[in-house]
A and B are shown apart, each in its own frame.
Chain A
Amino acid sequence: MKFEGKAWKFGDDVNTDEIIPARRLTTIDPDEMATYCMEDIDPDFMKKIAPGDIIVAEKNFGCGSSREHAPIAIKAAKISCVIAKSFARIFYRNSINIGLPILESEEAASKIDEGDLVSVDLVSGEIKNLTKNETYKAQPFPEFMQQIVAAGGLMKYVMARRS
């Protein structure tokens, strides 16, 4: 799977309240969740982004609450993937489970600037900065998680194991 999009940069410890505030959690509709994506950190975020764009953040992205609404809102906003130096563990797990592509890369997160055109190859874990003509490597997923990703998310993985 390959993606290409413009990078939107965020700092350390972006928490799930910033990704989607708790006051917006009384819905199970992904499209509605998308309209609130990042609203408290950048009220114009949804107006600025185009489908396929990429979020690039520093350390501990997605810390805080366990709300799956956070990766769902990002996915439904049509962000193609999130690259960060590190992810908070529940956000990491939720992203794998729902099929939001995420990549850990110190190098990519520090070298990509906002507005850079970035392409990502999920299979090889290669991140290309087309603006700066640089290539970075992401941490590969552990094999166990690759099985969940390959199955199309946790529910499909679980149901396949049962049948």
Chain B
Amino acid sequence: MGMTITEKILAAHAGRDSVEPGEFIMARLDVVLANDVTAPLAIEEFRKAGAKNVFDKDKIVMVADHFVPNRDINSAQQCKMMRDFAREQELTNYFDVGQMGIEHVLLPEQGLVLPGDVVLGADSHTCTYGAVGAFSTGSGSTDFAAAMITGEAWFRVPESMKFVYYGQRQDWVGGKDLILYTIGDIGVDGALYRAMEFTGDAIAKLPMGSRLTMCNMAIEAGGKSGIVPPDEITMEYVEPRAMRPFRFYESDPDAEYHDIREYDVSKIEPQVAFPYLPANTKGISEVVGEDISIDQVVIGSCTNGRMEDLRIAAQILKGQKVHPYVRLIIIPGTQNVYMQSLYEGLIEIFIEAGGAVSTPTCGPCLGGHMGVLAEGEKCVSTTNRNFVGRMGHKRSELYLSGPAVAAASAILGRIGSPEEVGK
């Protein structure tokens, strides 16, 4: 029987010729990741276990991104705990304010996650790295603590679901719209415990930024991982960044899938996910008539904080003004994204339009800081979750979209489409 790309990567890291869904395996890890929320608990566990040294100081990545630059004394203490540990253990890849970025934008950009890798991250959106052809999944702090000591983790080999996207994308439709549409179709537990494999000619043409966005939200369908078969676009992205060897894997033609779903992307319009679940999706044409006025727009996050996203936002905002009742917050995902946006004149466009540009941070996405919502406020956001209280008050409302709809909505003062602002 053939194997999927996910099964092949896991088999190779378990020292096996083959694995089957449902099996429990111990897999070698290429990258182990945590942030300022999840690392402190793990460091406690590491100490309590009596461990002295991490298994490999080059393979552990720590990024201060959730509550930085620090929001308050407690978050400063948490970051200090992580920083002290990183210095004590001489971690090669510790990223603090000034070098940091939102972890899932930063690691691919820095070439730290590569095709064929197995990556375990103490952050649910670790599934992002499937976009470069890796098996990558989120865990909690204890799994991360154990992995720091052993360089291994146990996994139940997941069944795979195949999603085939074909046809020509409509204007202003990107990876965010495709994944929101998919989650709307299968539900927030539609891929529970499974690997989501994104394929088809529409994926083959999809730029890396959009692929990262799609894999990023696999968790929002309950998925264990998301993955895109590596191809020329992957090679073009990875080759100049990689500092170690990597390997492309591909699914066998006779690999078995739990389910195969096909989507004609020419029929998918820009999507909006209504409160309070990412699966409550509607096409933008249905939403426009609802006249939903908004108070804030956030463009950024590990889902949509890349160059591709900011370029789209700038295309729409150029020469326009943000609606007087709307606060537009734009957060480049990394220092490099910020710098490149400066070179390309995007930051100027954002500020001239009346937007506020922030240093990289997860900030508002999790209601941490830098744009928390008051009671009754509504926000269009390019982030990944619209749960109750996610961006602030439990009676605030979050509408998820891609950068095009978010930018257009900032101008209109209500949820609207790029066409409505003449694009």
Contacts and interface: CB of A to CB of B under 8 A. Distances in A.
A13 B221 CA distance: 11
A48 interface: no
B150 interface: yes
Interface string B380-395: 0000010111100010
Contact of A66 (B50, B140, B188): B140
Interface string A69-82: 10110000000000
Given A17-B390, A22-B368, A90-B138, 17 more contacts: A13-B277, A21-B367, A22-B366, A40-B388, A40-B389, A40-B394, A59-B189, A60-B222, A65-B124, A67-B140, A68-B142, A71-B140, A72-B41, A86-B189, A88-B222, A144-B154, A155-B145
Given A18-B387, A69-B41, A159-B50, A98 B142 contact: yes
8 contacts: A25-B66, A27-B74, A40-B389, A60-B188, A64-B124, A72-B41, A94-B143, A158-B150
Among the interface residues A21, A25, A71, which one has the most CB atoms of the partner chain B within 10 A?
A25
A30 B307 CA distance: 39
A48 B298 CA distance: 37
Nearest to B392: A23
B75 interface: yes
B192 interface: yes
A23 B139 contact: no
Given A25-B37, A88-B222, A93-B140, A64 B154 contact: no
A49 B138 CA distance: 31
A66 B24 contact: no
A34 interface: no
Instruction: Place the interface of chain B in its size category.
Output: 35 or more
Contact of A97 (B40, B123, B142, B222): B142
A142 B24 contact: yes
Interface of A: 13, 15, 17-18, 21-23, 25-28, 40-41, 59-60, 63-69, 71-72, 86, 88-90, 93-94, 97-98, 142, 144, 153-155, 158-159, 162
B361 interface: no
A158 B140 CA distance: 15
A91 B145 CA distance: 16
A17 B387 contact: yes
B72 interface: yes
The CB with the most chain A CB atoms within 10 A, among B48, B122, B140, B189, is that of B140
A32 to B, nearest CB: 10
B9 to A, nearest CB: 18
Given A60-B222, A158-B49, A142 B389 contact: no
Contacts of A21: 367, 389
B377 to A, nearest CB: 16
Contacts of B139: 66, 90, 93-94
A66 B138 contact: yes
A43 B19 CA distance: 46
Contact of B72 (A22, A26, A98): A26
A68 B389 CA distance: 19
B224 interface: yes
B257 interface: no
A84 to B, nearest CB: 11
B141 interface: yes
Contacts of B156: 142, 144
B237 interface: no
B388 A18 contact: yes
A87 to B, nearest CB: 9
Contacts of B72: 26
Contact of B41 (A23, A28, A89): A28
Contacts of A159: 49-50, 149
A22 B154 contact: no
The listed residue with most A CB atoms (<10 A of its CB), out of B44, B75, B139, is B139
Given A66-B122, A67-B37, A158 B146 contact: yes
Contacts of B188: 13, 60, 63
A154 B41 CA distance: 14
Contact of B149 (A17, A144, A158): A158
A59 B189 CA distance: 8
B160 interface: no
Most chain B beta carbons < 10 A, residue from A59, A90, A153:
A90
Nearest to A22: B366
B193 interface: yes
Return the 4 tightest CB-CB contacts between A and B, nearest first: A26-B74, A22-B366, A68-B140, A94-B140
